[in-house]
Structure 1
Amino acid sequence: MRTVILTALLAFISMTSWAQKQIVWENPSAFMGSYISEFKINKVELKQTETVLHITANYQPHSWIRFAKNSYLQTPDGRKYTITSGLKTNEQETDLTPDSLFWMPESGTANLALHFQPVPLDTKKMDFLESEAEQDFKFWNICDGKTKEKLVLPADWQNVEYAKDETLPAAKIHKGVATIKVKMLGYKPAMKMSFYVGGFTPLGTAERVNKAVPFADDGTVEIKIPLWLTRQVNVGVEGLAYSELLIAPDQEVNILMKVTTDNKPFVAFKGYMAKTNMDMTKVKDTFGELLSDFAIYPKVKDCKTKEERLKSLQDIFEQRVNTIKKTEFTTAAKDLICMAAEEDYVKWTRHFVFNYSQFFVDDDGEIWMTQRNLSENMEKNKDMLTLTEEEQAYSWKYLNEPTSPCSQVFWETSIAAYDKQAVVKNPYNNELRCVQDVIKGDNEGLTNVLLATLKNEDCKNIVREYQAEQKRLAEELASKESVFFQKLDDVAPENILQTILNKYKGKVVLIDIWATWCGPCKAGHQVMKPWKQELKGKNIQFVYITSPTSPLATWQEMIKDIDGDHFYLTKEQYNYILNHYDSDGIPTYAIYDTEGNRTFKTIGFSGLDVFKNEVNKVLK
């Protein structure tokens, strides 16, 4: 009998102990994706009765967020544990009701507690999802911050060997296609990640590359980019990290990445310039703030004279170069970083007032950068570092070498503006830059002069090929009734708007002035798309107006998905219309009634309801 009682007592104690047991993850690790700056999971409590996520939300004051009532935690075995409440657990937290709008306080910060059905206490990792819809909140790989998970490499990525050194190739024109292949470890289809590549304009085109290509369900992505030269490009994944790497015509770059929370997602590289590309992912960790403008400002802030400021900037440049050269990076990586450092040095010494005037120190001693009151600050600081014409002259050490066109800063810097001997020192580099100036073609007279200066036959061929493609596009567009490309070029700027409106007499007209590179413009198109379907068959015409700042090939491709009439105007015509609307930016919209009277104008997308109301007023 005594044995039975003792056994029952021990069982009861064990059950009571288990019922009270809970696991706490303090400052857990989690991949927040695009919400990395908006949310932080401070603590996770795994209890026998429930699982609680303690979250800090940072959003604009008086804006709202909402967690759907169908939100859930998901464990690696695929099981889901739904949300039960958003009740606060202490006085620092605020109650939240799932599926209801939660309005952010004046501070822009709110501490919340999300309660879920209990996950097993031995759970090591979980995900939080509102749903698998792209716009819904998702926090991935939530786990104890102390957990160290071993990375398992695919068989073809084990024992990757790198070259001992690599050097940048001298610029040489070679037409081909660069290939980037990426494998993301730990990828889940619901993550809906995209791999970005861009930040540069390839030689032979006016179109800046900015591509975001979705990963396939198996965590792979492949991107192909036509090129004439080896180029430095920016790549990365939102919420993980970005880096610079080198790509080249007919060369392949293979990248192994991982979903991680430590801002170090690049695991390994293979293929073209693999060691250099791996080194470039380590720049931030290796140099910290040394290469940042935030490291320059505090050193020049307390200088009293022009001479002191100039000496300080020279010292910073030398320190950067010396530090770069001491690393174990490849020669190619060191050269790229030195080019960027030299561009920064020239930028600060030749345009000191502009750069310096963007910084300030707050009451807490923190350094900030802003363009607010920039004109006033520049006027106040105008005499801080003014160089004579003789002092302005500069002889490039890194940015006018045969290998320099590999670097992005080479294409962003006016090499000959500072070094009057630059063209003589490296005429081929100048020819390459002339190709881009000809293709941009902002000034027809200057374009013809530049074209006449080209001596290299390969450079001439790039221009000829570009011009032939533009001619082909123009002929193709000329045959389309709803597209007006070069059809109105002979109309005087002061008559162009009325000429367009005359085409639609008796109709309501909504004019949308935009450009292919304008994010808000494109966002407005997407928001309006369903509404335009509702208006099908009604007495309204959508008119889209752009200018040569929109690359022709990109414009031609984009307008296929924008229902309406499209006008590609000359720069003068386009600017006249913007001035007529007193507009200094895009998108700019205007609405005209059936009599041709303007009834509405706005700069920037005002929200779909505004447009609906304004159109309904004039639509009969």
Structure 2
Amino acid sequence: MKKIWILFLLMMTVLFVGAQSLLPVPEWTNTPAILKGQIIGYEKNAPEMRVQTFAYMPYDDLGTITAEIHEDGSFRMEVPMYATRQGYYFRIGPWYGILVLTAGDSVSVTLDLKSGMPGEEYSLECRGPLAELNNELVRCSTLDIWKSYRNVHNKVSPMSPADFYDSVRKYYHDLALQADSMDLKPITKEWLKLHFQSDMVNVLLLPEKLVNTENLGEDFLRRVTSEVGGNTLMQAYSAQLPTVVNRYEYAFFGDSLFVDQIRRKGDNLAARGYNSDVITDSTNQMRWRYTFSLLGGEQGVIQDAIRGNYYSVILSQDTPLTEKELKSLSQLENASIRNYFQKKNERLKQTLEERKRKRNKQFVFQETTAKESEKFLAEITKKYAGQVILIDFWGTWCGPCRQAIKDFKENHEKLSQKGLVTIYVTDELSPEAVWKNMAAGMPGVHYRIEETLSNEIFSQYGLTGWPSYLIIDKNGHLIYKKTAFREDELVETILRAIDEDVKK
């Protein structure tokens, strides 16, 4: 049985790696690429008429990038790159799919909305580097071969980690064989197999309800890293490397036994009188040693990205790096990631200086003596009587909160011009210095309340996590209370409340 399994692994290696790559091997970079083109038959108010991508690095999250579309349908977008050749998901009008870009170069596309019959898929024509590959990716973008294991097996009974592992490997092995049998150029088949490999890692490391245990266990994780891999910059082609890195971090730090060890380590250091900085450094080192041991060593693409994520988390909270952190960053062997965060740190410092000069013009820090949820909301309602109020419960430590604030920025500006008052509420879990840095870049009214008060508010209004939102109309009535960011719902509810007097 062991010989059969070894033979199967050898077959998988040939299928997914191949004898010699037709795709140029990427290198780390900070040089952007350009996507430009034209939408023939462009109509500004037509549904889904936008050019957009989500800039998601393996070591940083840059958010959504949207290109301006001119009246003639032409557009141009500068796209950040972490690799010299890299796949990106794009929305170009009604078309959605992956294109491979080259750092320092441009890909030109044409989307003709006037050609074809109603109901047919619109097709993109690509020119520039790797045009042959991009045009074939467009051509096969609607095939069933893209279906993830989870889409096909979403109704199966939970299985053991070992059976789940074998089932996933077989599914993607069969997909690779299917790709080989298709009328596609060899370079496209190679790209598809890289995409399958990334998707396989993502499924294995986040099985959700497909396995019958909460902990996958170290043996399972080591098996994934050693046999399936994905720890190579070739995965940049697949547009999934950032997700692969995220899955590895989530799986490793989601091991409850290991998390308990870290918690005990932190508690032990705290009991011995060590400060929070020492505790954080110690537990971070413990996390990294555990992660790198599972990955088979300290060197690799995923290891570099995880090191970069450490600085990303700090800077995402609008907190410049300390001298100690800058020193550790300067010792990072990956020059591309090192330079990226050194420049980002300098930009943040300039931004914070700019905010100091504008202090109290766009945002207000408020204090409250309220100890009960009803009194706190009554205080806000009284202060802004006759106005529509959005209360946004967020935390400096909360990634989804920060992303929601970014995503809501455009609509928030428009609604504020119509008279919306926004109250941002955080609690003591957000460090005060970090909160003030971040709040200074968020136009609105800011409260930092006691944790006991935030817990009471959440309990009273059925809020289950961060971010959460309350909307109060002009008459002081609570008309919306929900956890999680739902932009369309928020905009619709706020506009309806603002327009209430107009309709009367």
TM-score (structure 2 length as normaliser): 0.61
CA gap 1:205/1:432 in 2 versus in 1, 3 angstroms = closer
Deviations 1:141-172 (A, max 9, x none): xxxxxxxxxxxxxxxxxxxxxxxx95143232
Q: Is residue 101 of structure 2 the alignment partner of residue 247 of structure 1?
A: yes
Distance across 2 between alignment mates of 1:609 and 1:220: 32
1:310–1:349 Cα contact (<8 Å) kept? yes
2:60–2:309 Cα contact (<8 Å) kept? yes
Flag the structure with more relative contact order, 1 or 2, with Cα contacts below 8 A and sequence separation at least 6. 2
Q: Which runs of 5+ in 2 are unaligned?
A: 1-20, 253-290, 394-400, 483-489
Q: Which runs of 5+ in 1 are unaligned?
A: 1-164, 357-380, 533-540
Q: Is residue 309 of structure 2 the alignment partner of residue 430 of structure 1?
A: no
Distance across 2 between alignment mates of 1:207 and 1:341: 25
1:588–1:602 Cα contact (<8 Å) kept? yes
Secondary structure of residue in 1 paired with 2:310? helix
Q: Is residue 74 of structure 2 the alignment partner of residue 220 of structure 1?
A: yes
CA gap 1:407/1:349 in 2 versus in 1, 3 angstroms = closer
Residue identity in the other structure for 2:312: I
2:54–2:62 Cα contact (<8 Å) kept? no
Distance across 1 between alignment mates of 2:499 and 2:43: 42
Match of 1:607 in 2: 493
1:178–1:252 Cα contact (<8 Å) kept? yes
Match of 2:470 in 1: 589
Distance across 1 between alignment mates of 2:438 and 2:131: 32
Match of 1:390 in 2: 219
Residue identity in the other structure for 2:73: G
2:161–2:220 Cα contact (<8 Å) kept? no
Instruction: Name whichever of 322-331 and 228-237 sits farther off.
Output: 322-331
1:182 positional shift = 1.7
1:575 positional shift = 6.8
Question: Which runs of structure 2 are paired with 1:463-542 in the superposition (5 Å)?
Answer: 463-480=341-358, 481-484=360-363, 508=385, 510-513=389-392, 517-518=403-404, 525=412, 528-529=415-416, 531-532=418-419, 542=421
Question: Which runs of structure 2 are paired with 1:435-454 in the superposition (5 Å)?
Answer: 435-441=308-314, 448=325, 451=329, 454=332
Secondary structure of residue in 2 paired with 1:399? coil
Secondary structure of residue in 2 paired with 1:607? helix
1:202–1:209 Cα contact (<8 Å) kept? no
1:592–1:600 Cα contact (<8 Å) kept? yes
Distance across 1 between alignment mates of 2:24 and 2:337: 21
Question: Which runs of structure 2 are paired with 1:155-166 in the superposition (5 Å)?
Answer: none
2:36–2:76 Cα contact (<8 Å) kept? yes
Match of 2:28 in 1: 172
Q: Is residue 68 of structure 2 the alignment partner of residue 181 of structure 1?
A: no
Secondary structure of residue in 1 paired with 2:308? helix
Q: Is residue 160 of structure 2 the alignment partner of residue 280 of structure 1?
A: no
Q: Which has the higher strand share?
A: 1
2:471–2:479 Cα contact (<8 Å) kept? yes
Deviations 1:501-523 (A, max 9, x none): 99999653735317574499569
TM-score (structure 1 length as normaliser): 0.51
Deviations 1:451-501 (A, max 9, x none): 48733333222111111111111111122223459x78x999989999999
1:295 positional shift = 2.9
CA gap 1:423/1:190 in 2 versus in 1, 3 angstroms = same
Match of 1:266 in 2: 123
Residue identity in the other structure for 1:588: Y
Residue identity in the other structure for 1:465: K
Secondary structure of residue in 1 paired with 2:173? helix
CA gap 1:351/1:428 in 2 versus in 1, 3 angstroms = closer
2:195–2:235 Cα contact (<8 Å) kept? no
* CA-atom RMSD in angstroms: 5.3
The correspondence for 1:545, drawn from 419, 424, 429, is 424
2:58–2:243 Cα contact (<8 Å) kept? no
1:586–1:603 Cα contact (<8 Å) kept? no
Distance across 2 between alignment mates of 1:516 and 1:244: 26
Secondary structure of residue in 2 paired with 1:265? coil
Distance across 2 between alignment mates of 1:216 and 1:556: 34
Distance across 2 between alignment mates of 1:475 and 1:503: 30
Question: Which runs of structure 2 are paired with 1:121-132 in the superposition (5 Å)?
Answer: none
1:497–1:577 Cα contact (<8 Å) kept? no
Q: Is residue 176 of structure 2 the alignment partner of residue 321 of structure 1?
A: yes
Distance across 1 between alignment mates of 2:456 and 2:499: 24
Q: Percent identity?
A: 10
Secondary structure of residue in 1 paired with 2:212? coil
CA gap 1:194/1:516 in 2 versus in 1, 3 angstroms = farther
2:370–2:376 Cα contact (<8 Å) kept? no
Match of 1:364 in 2: none
Instruction: Name whichever of 443-452 and 276-285 sits farther off.
Output: 443-452
Secondary structure of residue in 1 paired with 2:167? helix
The correspondence for 1:565, drawn from 439, 444, 461, is 444
1:255 positional shift = 0.7
Deviations 1:185-231 (A, max 9, x none): 344566486333323424675422242x4532322221122434343
Match of 2:8 in 1: none
Distance across 1 between alignment mates of 2:333 and 2:133: 33
1:198–1:235 Cα contact (<8 Å) kept? yes
2:38–2:111 Cα contact (<8 Å) kept? yes
1:484–1:568 Cα contact (<8 Å) kept? no
Distance across 2 between alignment mates of 1:493 and 1:232: 51
**Higher radius of gyration, 1 or 2:** 1
Distance across 1 between alignment mates of 2:453 and 2:60: 22
Q: Which has the higher helix share?
A: 2
Regions of 4+ moved over 6 Å: 303-307, 442-447, 490-505, 550-557, 568-578, 613-616
Q: Is residue 338 of structure 2 the alignment partner of residue 460 of structure 1?
A: yes
1:253 positional shift = 0.7
CA gap 1:411/1:315 in 2 versus in 1, 3 angstroms = same
Distance across 1 between alignment mates of 2:131 and 2:340: 29
Match of 1:229 in 2: 83
